[in-house]
Chains A and B, each alone.
Chain A
Amino acid sequence: MHPAFSVIFLTTLIGAGQGLFLALFTGQFYSTVELVEAQTDTFYAIGSALSLALLVGGLGASFFHLGRPERAWRAATMWRTSWLSREVIVLPAMMGIVFLYGVFHWFGWTQPFIVLGEGTLPIDATFVLGMLGMLVTLALFVSTGMIYASVKFLQEWHSPYTIANFIFLGTASGFMLAAAYSALIGNQLVGFFGTWAVIATLLGLVTRTASLMRNASLKHRSNLQTAIGIRHRGIVQKSQGFSAGSFNTREFFHHQTPDALKLIRVAFMVLVFPVPIALVLLAYLLESSTLPIVAFAIQYLGLMAERWYFFAEAEHPQNLYYQQVS
Chain B
Amino acid sequence: MTQLALVIDLNVCVGCHACVTSCKQWNTSGWAGPMVDENPYDANPTGTFFNRVQTYEVGSFPSTETVHFPKSCLHCEDPPCVPVCPTGASYKREDNGVVLVDYDKCIGCKYCSWACPYGVRELDEQQQVMKKCTLCIDRISDHTLPEAERKPACVIACPTNARLYGDVHDPDSEVSVAIRERGGYALMPEWGTQPANHYLPRQKTYMHLTEEDLQRSDNPLTKEDITVYQGEETMEDVTW
A35 part of interface (Cβ distance < 8 Å):
no
Inter-subunit contact B185/A238 (CB<8 Å): no
Asked if residues A229 and B201 are in contact (CB atoms below 8 Å), the reply is yes
A239 to B67, CA, bound (A): 10
User: Which of A69, A78, A226, A318 sits near B86, CB closer than 8 Å?
Assistant: A78
Report the minimum CB–CB distance from B204 to chain A (whole Å). Answer: 13
**B122 close to A (CB within 8 Å):** yes
Q: What is the CB-to-nearest-CB distance from B35 to chain A, in angstroms, rounded to a whole number?
A: 12
| Bound Cα distance from A237 to B84, whole angstroms | 30
Q: Decide: B69 and A242 in contact? CB cutoff 8 A.
A: no
B122 touching A67, Cβ below 8 Å = no
Find chain B residues with CB under 8 A from A322 CB: 119
Contact between B58 and A153 (Cβ–Cβ < 8 Å)? no
Q: Is the CB of A248 within 8 A of B85?
A: no
Chain B residue at minimal CB-CB distance from A252: B119
Q: Please measure, in the bound complex, the distance between the C-alpha atom of A238 and the C-alpha atom of B119, giving whole angstroms.
A: 18
Please indicate the chain A residues that have their CB under 8 angstroms from the CB of B2 in the complex. Answer: none
A311–B129 CA distance with the chains assembled, in angstroms: 22
User: Contacts of B66 on A, CB cut-off 8 Å?
Assistant: 238
CB-contacts of B190-223 with A (<8 A): 190-191, 199, 201-202
* B18 part of interface (Cβ distance < 8 Å): no
A1-31 interface bits toward B, Cβ cutoff 8 Å, 1 = contact, 0 = none: 1000000000000000000000000000000
Known: A78-B88, A238-B57, A244-B44. A68 touches B108 (CB 8 A): yes
Of the candidates B105, B109, B117, B121, which one forms a contact with A153 in the assembled complex, judged by CB atoms under 8 Å apart?
Answer: B117
Do the beta carbons of A82 and B86 come within 8 Å of each other? yes
| CB proximity of B74 to chain A, nearest CB, Å | 12
Contact A151 B114, beta carbon cutoff 8 Å: yes
Against B, the Cβ 8 Å flags (1 = close, 0 = not) of A57-94 are 00000000111110110111110011111001000000
Contacting pair A227 B107 (CB below 8 A): no
Minimum CB–CB distance from B54 to chain A (whole Å) comes to: 5
Given contacts A1-B114, A153-B115, A228-B69, contact A237 B54 (CB under 8 A): yes
Contact of A228 among B53, B56, B110, B189 (CB under 8 A): B56
What are the interface flags for B45-69 relative to A under an 8 Å C-beta threshold, 1 for contact and 0 otherwise? 1111100111111111000001101
| A113 close to chain B: CB less than 8 A | no
Question: Judging by beta carbons under 8 Å apart, are B86 and A67 in contact?
Answer: no
Is B140's beta carbon under 8 Å from chain A?
no
Q: Across the two chains, which residue of chain A brings its CB closest to B200?
A: A229
Q: Report A230-265 residues with CB < 8 Å from chain B CB.
A: 230, 232, 234-248, 251-252
Please tell me if the beta carbons of B56 and A226 are within 8 angstroms of each other in the complex.
Answer: no
Q: How far is the CA of A228 from the CA of B55 in the complex (A)?
A: 10
Q: Are A229 and B187 in contact (CB under 8 A)?
A: yes
**Is the pair B56, A235 in contact by a Cβ cutoff of 8 Å?**
yes
Q: In the complex the two chains form, what is the Cα distance from A152 to B60 in whole Å? A: 34
Bound complex: CA A76 to CA B48 (Å) = 28
Is A74 a contact of B105 with CB atoms below 8 Å? yes
A153 to B190, CA, bound (A): 10
In the bound complex, what is the Cα–Cα distance between A319 and B118 (angstroms)? 9
What is the chain A residue whose CB lies nearest that of B71?
A321
Within 8 Å CB of B113, what residues of A? 247, 251
Q: Which of B47, B89, B105, B199 contacts A229 (CB 8 A)?
A: B199
Give the CA-CA distance A235 to B122 in the complex, in Å: 26
Complex CA–CA separation, A260 to B123 (angstroms)? 28
- Assembled-state Cα–Cα distance A151/B67 (Å): 31
Q: Which of B53, B58, B106, B115 contacts A68 (CB 8 A)?
A: B106
B59 near A67: Cβ-Cβ < 8 Å: no
In order of increasing CB-CB distance, the 9 nearest A-B pairs are: A67-B108, A318-B119, A67-B128, A241-B52, A81-B83, A85-B86, A75-B86, A74-B87, A247-B122
B residues in contact (CB < 8 Å) with A: 17, 20, 43-49, 52-60, 66-67, 69, 71, 80, 83-89, 105-111, 113-119, 121-123, 127-129, 185-191, 199, 201-202
Q: Which residues of A contact B (CB under 8 A)?
A: 1, 65-69, 71-72, 74-78, 81-85, 88, 147, 150-154, 221-222, 224, 226-230, 232, 234-248, 251-252, 316-319, 321-322
Q: What would 24 A/B residue contacts be, using CB atoms closer than 8 Å?
A: A67-B107, A67-B109, A74-B105, A75-B87, A75-B107, A75-B109, A77-B86, A78-B85, A82-B84, A82-B111, A153-B114, A153-B115, A153-B117, A230-B56, A234-B58, A234-B59, A235-B56, A235-B57, A239-B54, A239-B55, A244-B43, A247-B113, A316-B114, A318-B116
* Additional 11 contacts, C-beta under 8 A, given A81-B83, A245-B44: A67-B129, A68-B128, A71-B106, A84-B111, A88-B86, A152-B80, A230-B201, A245-B46, A247-B121, A317-B117, A321-B71
